[in-house]
Amino acid sequence: MPDAAFVRGVPGGSLEEVVHYLDVLHALKAMDIPVYNDGRAIERSVDKSMASFLLHNAGLPTPLTWVLRNPEDALSIAERELANGHLLISKPLFGSQGEGIRRLEKMTDLFWLTSSHGIYYLQRFVHCAGEGFSDNRVFVVNGRAVAAMRRRGKFWLNNVARGASCEPIELDAAMASLAVKATAALAMDYAGVDIIQDQDGDYTVIEVNSIPAWKGLESVCDITVADVLAEDLINRYLEVK
């Protein structure tokens, strides 16, 4: 039997396949084998609807969000938001690295709502402070923010996988505290927390990633993420002295 399991990816596939992968993680935990992050934490973050609910329920600042089954209701909300001068983001419930995300800017963009797989996840677009497009990725391990960077997108998506550049930043206490609280709300051992500073200077949690990439972070921060994670897993779960 393994001493522990370190989860670095959950493959896509059919619903049955994804459930099977998560069942393996749940089974390992039921056998008292440490799983880092465990299956429940991954389920919370991978499902954007549940993640948004848990963050909001914890009293943390998040974008105004709607999750709907009825396409007429989704269209009505989108039309109202656009008419009031707000842009919207349409996201698939399951996805990563910016795949399938659309920004709705005008009525003709509502065409993209037709490819929702039956669930409509809409968020009010948050305009960042300063010029261009940017947000911050804060890496949290065992209740502590250990590193952070700014991601500057070539367009409104700030994912490194979509060409965003990385910059080192000084992690202020407010951003660190928000990232730690967001990670705790989703009960994760570690997380990559995406936080945007809006045009009023306030911080908003955009997303909490339970299987975050860290190549971009390591390119601008003096930290070896794998070492930090391995040390935390060993010291907390394997009782190595």
The pTM of the full predicted model, rounded to 2 decimals, is 0.89
Domain that holds residue 177: 129-238
Same domain for 156 and 97: no
Looking at per-residue pLDDT, the higher value among 131 and 209 belongs to 209
Closest residue by Cα to residue 25 from 15, 12, 46, 40: 40
Domains of the chain: total: 2
pLDDT of residue 233: 95
pLDDT of residue 237: 92
Q: Which of 124, 152, 174 is the last residue of a domain?
A: 124
Looking at per-residue pLDDT, the higher value among 76 and 111 belongs to 76
Helical segments of 36-86, H only: 39-46, 48-57, 71-83
Q: Is 211 exposed, middle or buried (0-12, 13-18, 19+ CB in 10 A)?
A: middle
Contact present, 186 and 207 (Cβ < 8 Å): no
Same domain for 146 and 115: no
Same domain for 154 and 228: yes
pLDDT band at residue 219 under the 50/70/90 scheme = very high
Residue 187 carries which side chain, given as an amino acid letter? Answer: A
Same domain for 222 and 153: yes
Report the CATH number at residue 91.
Answer: 3.30.1490.20
State pLDDT tens for residues 15-52: 788 889 899 999 999 999 999 999 999 988 888 889 99
User: Per-residue pLDDT for 114 more than 70?
Assistant: no
Residue 24 lies in a domain: no
Mean pLDDT, the chain, whole residue set: 89
pLDDT band at residue 160 under the 50/70/90 scheme = confident
State pLDDT tens for residues 56-98: 999 999 999 999 888 888 888 989 999 999 999 888 776 555 5
User: Per-residue pLDDT for 218 more than 90?
Assistant: yes
pLDDT of residue 112: 63
Report the CATH number at residue 209.
Answer: 3.30.470.20
How far is Cα 93 from Cα 74, in angstroms, rounded to an integer? Answer: 14
Q: Is 30 exposed, middle or buried (0-12, 13-18, 19+ CB in 10 A)?
A: exposed
pLDDT band at residue 241 under the 50/70/90 scheme = very low
